[in-house]
């Protein structure tokens, strides 16, 4: 199998749907390692991901119309399955909503992470589950053998166990769970194309709400947060602190095997590439940094004001599927003014986009 061709094939987080947390450029680097203990899990992960992308059209053909929000219960309905190290979903049902903790820590963490995501969207934004209408939240743990990824496939969360060398169990970081489930929120709302700038916005929105879910769960203010994505995921043999940094894109890792974090913080560093669907995991650093600048300028709890503006844009019905950074920036400025008036929130949003070099439309 040609690994380069596998990772260059367009993957979708709109319709059809397949979104992974580990960027393909990291897996590509790992796949080239001389150490079989490292390149074999990476190559196996790439093969699995390629196969899942080939199946994504089955989900794309299904109707994604949400149910009735008024009839939906204001509580989660979670079910956890165990793939038992097979590359199949959903696997064997092992945990329902009413069940208590079990011996399997991955099951418990998946259950808790789904709940943390549901709680932020409900209590902060009044959204009942990711579709806004009480969609049951399903997850599969122990997917594949030493599978170095986690993904949202349009219907459920799927977690690999990692290789216990470079990556730990993917159920550990709650922001990773929140990131992937937010792809589901995007799927049911703006449904952003997964290529180029709209794809980078798709990834950025997931990073934004992933870190907000973590901050909400920890009760952190903007100045207390680390603004890292996947900080608990990297193994002890990695020179780095996370998968991405919203505070300082490009500094999350610099490792002999993983490579160096390629994310730019401003448009001056925008990466033009045909890989990674036009750099969706790379150029997302630019809107990520803009959100960080807004949140830290305003202070306090980032989900209350900065997060509210981003949520209003994502769900407001005016964000086009093919939106560019400038389009998104312009909508956040309008949303800030609509919700808060000509106040600090509006000024913080305008200044942030200016700092990252995006001229709003």
DSSP 88-132: -SS-EEEE-TT----S-HHHHHHHHHHHHHHHHHHHHH---STTS
Q: Is 50 a catalytic residue?
A: no
Rounded to whole angstroms, the Cα distance separating 211 from 199 reads 19
Does residue 232 have an active-site annotation? Answer: no
- Coil/strand/helix, residue 228: strand
Asked if 162 and 146 count as a contact pair (C-beta separation under 8 A), the reply is yes
Closest CA to 332 of 193, 322, 347: 347
Which is the catalytic residue, given 180, 195, 203, 345?
Answer: 180
CA neighbor of 23 nearest in space, from 267, 177, 244 = 244
Measure the CA dihedral 244/242/238/199, to 10°.
Answer: -30
- Name the strand (E) or helix (H) holding 10: none
Find out whether 180 and 157 touch, Cβ atoms under 8 Å.
Answer: yes
Closest CA to 157 of 177, 142, 174, 175: 177
Residue 254: both structure tokens together: 């610099």
Residue of 25, 95, 111, 281 marked catalytic:
281
Q: 13 - beta bridge partners?
A: 17
Pairing of strands 137-141, 78-82: parallel
What residues are labeled active site?
180, 281
């Amino acid at each position: 199998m040609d690994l380069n061709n596998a990772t260059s094939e367009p993957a979708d987080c709109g319709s059809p749907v397949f979104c992974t947390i580990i960027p393909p450029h990291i897996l590509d680097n790992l796949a080239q390692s001389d150490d079989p203990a490292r390149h074999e899990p990476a190559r196996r992960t790439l093969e699995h991901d390629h196969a899942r992308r080939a199946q994504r059209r089955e989900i794309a053909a299904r109707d994604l119309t949400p149910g009735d929000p008024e009839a939906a219960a204001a509580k989660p309905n979670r079910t956890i399955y165990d793939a038992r190290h097979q590359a199949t979903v959903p696997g064997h049902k092992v945990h329902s909503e009413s069940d208590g903790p079990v011996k399997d820590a991955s099951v418990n963490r998946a259950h808790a992470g789904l709940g943390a995501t549901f709680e932020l969207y409900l209590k902060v934004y009044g959204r009942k589950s990711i579709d806004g209408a009480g969609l049951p939240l399903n997850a599969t743990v122990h997917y594949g053998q030493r599978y170095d990824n986690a993904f949202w496939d349009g219907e459920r969360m799927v977690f690999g166990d990692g290789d216990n060398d470079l990556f730990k169990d993917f159920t550990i970081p709650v922001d990773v769970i929140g990131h992937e489930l937010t792809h589901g929120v995007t799927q049911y709302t703006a449904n952003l194309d997964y290529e180029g700038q709209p794809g980078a916005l798709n990834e950025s929105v997931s990073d934004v709400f992933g870190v907000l879910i973590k901050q909400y769960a920890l009760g952190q203010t903007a100045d207390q947060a680390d603004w890292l994505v996947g900080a608990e995921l990297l193994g002890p043999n990695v020179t780095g602190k996370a998968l991405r940094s919203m505070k300082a894109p490009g500094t999350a890792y610099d490792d002999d095997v993983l490579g160096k974090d390629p994310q730019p913080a401003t448009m001056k560093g925008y990466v033009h590439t045909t890989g990674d669907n036009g750099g969706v995991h790379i150029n997302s650093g630019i809107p990520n940094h803009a959100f960080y600048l807004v949140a830290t300028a305003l202070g306090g709890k980032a989900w209350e004001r900065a997060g509210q503006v981003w949520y209003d844009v994502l769900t407001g019905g005016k964000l086009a599927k093919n939106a560019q950074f400038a389009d998104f920036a312009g909508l956040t400025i309008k949303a800030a003014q609509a919700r808060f008036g000509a106040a600090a929130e509006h000024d913080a949003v305008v200044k942030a986009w200016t700092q990252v070099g995006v001229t709003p439309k």
